[in-house]
Amino acid sequence: MRFIDLKILVKFEKEISENWDYSSAFRGIFGRILKKTYCLQKNIECNSCVFDNCIYYMLFEKKYDNTISFRPYTIRHDHSSSEKNSILLEFKLIGTLTEYFDQIAFVLIKLQKHYLLIRGKKYFFRIEKIVDKNTNNEIFNSEEGKILKINPQKILYDFPKFNHLKINFVTPLRMKYKNKLMNNFNFEAFINSLHKRLLFLNENFGDNDLVIPVPSYEGIVVEKKQFVWKEFYRKSYRQHQKMSLGGIIGYAVLKNVDEKTFINLKLGEIFHAGKQTAFGMGKYLITEVK
C-alpha cells in the first residue's frame, strides 16, 4: 500500500492560542474548500449525486461499510512547534488517495485565502511550506509558490523486529470495547480493532496488496501500563454542535510480542488506531525495551 506523509507549516497573521488542537479546524476548512472547488452539483446532497468518484465524496461522505468507516487520510496537529504564530500539521494520504495528490495540493494552497475560526475569532494564515517526510524534501514554499512532484512511499517490511516494546500514544486512543468507550487500555481489544482497521484500509484503498498477518494476544504480557482519559471537543460545521474527541492517552509496555502481532503494531504506527483517526487520533510510537 502506498502513502504520502506531509509536514505542513502554517503561519498565522497574529498570535494563536497554544492550548488548542487545530486538527479539527484545519480539517474543517480543508473539507469546505475541497467541496467548493470540485463539487459539480452544489445544490444537491452527496448521496443523490451521480458523480460517485468525486474526491470530496470519497474523503468526507462515502460509506464504505455498513459497520465501520475509516477515511483514507489523517490530519494531526503536531505540537512540537514552539512559535506562537505558527503550527505544524501532519497530513497523511493513504492508498489510492495518493493518486489525487495534485488536486489535494491545489486545495491546500487555496486555503490561504481563507481563515480558521477558533472560539469565535478569525485567524488568517498562509501555508509557509510543505515537506515530504519520507525524503525531507521541501515540495512547496510560500516564496516560490509552486508544488513539486512527490513519489508515494510503499510499505516495506524491513524494519527491525523486537518482542519487548513500549507503545506510547501521542494522541488519544478513542476505541470502543463491549459497546462502551474504552477508559483503560485493553491489549486484546486494541489489537483486534487495529487488525480490522488495517484490513479495511487494505481492501478499500490498497487493492489488497498489503500483507497483514493475523495477530495474537496469547502469551503477550502487559508488563506495565499507565493511561488517563483526555477530553477535548470539536465544533461540527455541518452538524452545528459540539462533538467529543476524547480518548485514553499514555503508554503500555509489552513482552513476548510475536512477529505477526509486531507487524500489525508497526503498520498501526503508520496508519493510527481506533476511531476519529481523520482528526489525528490514535497516533502512537513504538520503541524497543532493552
Q: Which residues pair with 171 in a beta bridge?
A: none
Render each residue's pLDDT in the chain as its tens digit; 290 residues: 899 999 999 999 888 877 788 898 899 999 999 999 999 888 888 888 888 788 998 888 887 776 567 899 999 999 887 678 899 999 999 999 999 999 999 999 998 888 888 777 888 999 999 999 999 999 999 988 889 999 999 888 888 889 999 999 999 999 999 889 999 999 999 999 999 999 999 998 987 788 899 998 889 999 999 999 998 877 665 656 677 888 999 999 999 999 999 999 999 999 999 999 999 999 999 999 98
Q: Hey, where are the domains in the chain?
A: 2-154, 165-288
Query: With contact defined as beta carbons under 8 Å apart, do 187 and 220 qualify?
Result: yes
Q: For domain 165-288, give the CATH number.
A: 3.30.70.1900
* Closest alpha carbon to 250 in 163, 167, 176, 164: 167
Assessment of whether the complete model's pTM goes beyond 0.85? yes
Around Cβ 37, how many Cβ atoms within 10 Å?
13
What CATH architecture does domain 2-154 belong to? 2-Layer Sandwich (3.30)
Rounded Cα distance, 139 and 134, in Å? 12
Query: How far is C-alpha 230 from the chain's CA centre?
Result: 18
CA distance 223 to 285: 17
Phi/psi at 168 (nearest 5 deg)?
A: -115, 120
Note the pLDDT of residue 240. Answer: 62
Is-same-fold flag (2-154; 165-288)? yes
Measure the CA–CA gap between 228 and 265, rounded to whole angstroms: 21
| C-alpha cell, 186 | 485493553
